[in-house]
Amino acid sequence: MRRVVRSKTYVRQLKTLIEYGVKRFGLRVAESKLLILDDVIEHFLAAHPGAKQVDPELMLHVYPISRTPFVLIYDFDAVELRLHFIIQARADRSSLDPGDVER
């Protein structure tokens, strides 16, 4: 199983998304979405990171998380699954720059 590495950018974005979710939908809903997210990352994506194609503009994998508003943007090798960004599903990806990811 690959080790999951979350960039500082990813952690900051997730915190912002969860805080928004708590304010808008309540703690229970935000926590349930976070549990789904963590489950998919740890039990599926770490084992099957090639499940989605590479986005030709970002040159990173893009994985929408079912039953949540989240999309993961990542890359991987045999040892690590590296989570670079987490964004809302409807967010514009054109402003994302992989070079701006804070490790």
Tens-digit pLDDT string for the chain (103 aa): 899 999 999 999 999 999 999 999 999 999 999 999 999 999 999 999 999 889 999 999 999 999 999 999 999 999 999 999 999 999 998 889 898 899 8
Q: How high is the pLDDT of residue 53?
A: 87
Q: How high is the pLDDT of residue 94?
A: 87
Q: How high is the pLDDT of residue 9?
A: 97
Q: How high is the pLDDT of residue 37?
A: 97
Between CA 12 and CA 43 the distance in angstroms is: 23
The total of other beta-carbon atoms located within 10 Å of residue 4's CB is 17
Q: How high is the pLDDT of residue 99?
A: 87
Between CA 87 and CA 92 the distance in angstroms is: 9
Q: How high is the pLDDT of residue 41?
A: 97
- Which H or E run contains 86? strand 80-88
User: Per the structure block, which two tokens stand in for 37?
Assistant: 């997210």
